[in-house]
Amino acid sequence: MKNSRRDFLKKTGITGAGFVGVSLAACNSQPESSDPFPQTYRQKFNMSGYAAPKLDVVRIGIVGLGNRGTGTVRRLAGIEGVEIRALCDLEPDRVQRSADNIKHLGHKPDFYSGHEDEWKKMVERNDLDLIAIVTPWHLHTPMCVYAMENDKHAYTELPAATTMEECWQLVETSERTRKHCVQMSGSCMGGTAAVILNMAREGFFGELIHGEGCYIHTLLEFYLFDKDMYHNMWRLKANIGKNGNLYPNHGIVPIMQLMDINYGDRMDYCCSISSDDFLMNKTAKRLAEEDDFWNEYVDRDFRGNMNVTTIKTVKGRTIVLNHDVTSPRPRGRRLLSGTKALYHSSPDRISTDQNHTGWGHYEWISDEEFNDLMEKYSPEMNKRFDEMTSQAKQLDKSGHSYYETSPVDWRLIDCLRNGLPVDMDVYQAATSSALTPLSIWSVKNRAFVNVPDFTDGAWQTNQRTLDIQLERGGGNTKLV
């Protein structure tokens, strides 16, 4: 054995110390991540921090009036200065239903329905400022792009895009047209998430080291395999042939906001793995035994049930993102870990470096201390939104629309009406959506992959867009 090792060293020309040196160098070197989506785009105009011309009234057209869109109409209709001028869905009765829901608020929208491309007629009108898009995923980018090309801001449900080409298309179009492209939800705007963001900015957690986010929502039988839940079974079909994180935005956007991704830090590279599918094909087979409708879903290439994507940022932080819409399990958590403290959601808990109980273990702070922190760090945006909600409650003419309006909807309209930059820009929409094609590529190739920089370097100087303390103004739009 000894001789053969010496022979090997002689043959390869490596002797003792050299061999050790080579081995250590190999161990210490950074893994090379792959670059299957090389970046060639150069920024035309920086949309981060851009304030579009002020709009006293925001005239809106909404497309997609299904499970989510029905609520979107009510949410937007309950904000001061909004005029819902047009509603569109393939199904005419959905348009009628949504129009009926907001009649008492004085909205008299025109109807568009009955044809796949009818939405284009709505977007082409010259009396709309904003198109809200609440359709199946594959329609989001084409609809956003068409809206921006036709001089409208785009407000889209997530994910804004499903492929890398679409992500770049959104950035390019927004910069060229100077129209906003804002993702509709998944943000630290409001409630506990906003307080935690404020605490992070105030340094409560110290330097941020690690974050975890997820979309864990059991959609198996009640949603994906329900014939009447989604238009043309789009959401079940989306789970076939693409193995990765299909819905990264709910999980990643709050972490991006907490870690100032695209405003001082950026995602550098990521690596993703997926479990096998233990549930979807079995469900399809079981249902197909009773009903031929399900035959076309048997033995399809279903996505693995759990996807785990790990991300490293340029500033050395780590992020873990989970996606699972099929396993029977409670809601997933969000986690933020810093040099001084840790936040854990579902249930909400905090531990700090003051709670050391010995042998390297830390306790959670008490509920009382937690509540005190929530009060102390409550940002201006929360206070103002709560104030608007309680004022609307006293008027109570909205059929309770104000209950449904989220801070994200409210602030978008507030920013447009006050001529302020929007809190969530197109770079956030593109970066968060890009994790779908990146994770799919990584799962397939068992490799690290570089995350494109949609800001083209501007992340180094861009200022935070999410104005949680309303320092740039606004916050004066009422709920009605």
Ligand X SMILES: NC(=O)c1ccc[n+]([C@@H]2O[C@H](COP(=O)([O-])OP(=O)(O)OC[C@H]3O[C@@H](n4cnc5c(N)ncnc54)[C@H](O)[C@@H]3O)[C@@H](O)[C@H]2O)c1
Residues making contact with ligand X (CB under 6 A): 63-69, 88-91, 94, 116, 119, 134-137, 139, 157, 185, 230-231, 234
Quote the distance between the C-alpha of residue 372 and its chain's center.
29
Contact indicator for 357, 363 with CB cutoff of 8 Å: yes
Please report how the helices 249-258 and 191-201 are oriented relative to each other, as an axis angle in degrees rounded to 10: 30
C-alpha 254/C-alpha 42 separation (Å) is 27
| Closest distance of CB 354 from ligand X, Å | 36
Length of the chain in terms of residues written? 480
Q: Give the nearest residue (CB) to ligand X.
A: 66
Q: Which is nearer to ligand X, 337 or 436 (CB)?
A: 436
C-alpha 388/C-alpha 79 separation (Å) is 10
Q: Which is nearer to ligand X, 66 or 338 (CB)?
A: 66
Partner residues linked to 131 by β-bridges: 61, 154
C-alpha 108/C-alpha 123 separation (Å) is 17
- Residue 382: exposure state from Cβ atoms within 10 A (0-12, 13-18, ≥19): buried
Structure tokens at 278: 């233990």
C-alpha 338/C-alpha 370 separation (Å) is 17
| Ramachandran bin of 457, using left for φ above 0, alpha for ψ from -120 to 50, beta for the remaining angles | left
C-alpha 222/C-alpha 295 separation (Å) is 18
Nearest to 260 by CA among 32, 464, 9: 464
Nearest to 336 by CA among 196, 471, 181: 196
Q: Which is nearer to ligand X, 66 or 251 (CB)?
A: 66
Q: Which is nearer to ligand X, 350 or 422 (CB)?
A: 422
CA distances from 89 to 74, 249, 315, 325, 448 (A): 15, 24, 44, 26, 41
| Closest distance of CB 157 from ligand X, Å | 4
C-alpha 194/C-alpha 184 separation (Å) is 16
Q: Tell me the residue type at 317.
A: R
| Closest distance of CB 404 from ligand X, Å | 12
Nearest to 157 by CA among 135, 172, 128, 190: 135
Q: Which is nearer to ligand X, 160 or 279 (CB)?
A: 160
Q: Which is nearer to ligand X, 178 or 231 (CB)?
A: 231
Nearest to 86 by CA among 119, 117, 55: 119
Contacts of residues 289-293 at CB distance under 8 Å and 24 or more positions apart, as own/partner, are 293/227
Q: Cα 261–262–268 angle (5° rounding)? A: 70
| Closest distance of CB 164 from ligand X, Å | 19
Q: Is the peptide bond before 421 cis (omega within 30 degrees of 0)?
A: no
Contact indicator for 133, 63 with CB cutoff of 8 Å: yes
| Closest distance of CB 186 from ligand X, Å | 6
| Closest distance of CB 228 from ligand X, Å | 10
Quickly count: other Cβ atoms within 10 Å of residue 8's Cβ: 11
H or E stretch covering 195: helix 191-201
Q: Which is nearer to ligand X, 185 or 389 (CB)?
A: 185
Q: Which is nearer to ligand X, 37 or 230 (CB)?
A: 230
Q: Which is nearer to ligand X, 91 or 353 (CB)?
A: 91
| Closest distance of CB 328 from ligand X, Å | 20
Q: Which is nearer to ligand X, 134 or 420 (CB)?
A: 134
Q: Which is nearer to ligand X, 157 or 453 (CB)?
A: 157
C-alpha 147/C-alpha 275 separation (Å) is 38
Q: Which is nearer to ligand X, 138 or 478 (CB)?
A: 138
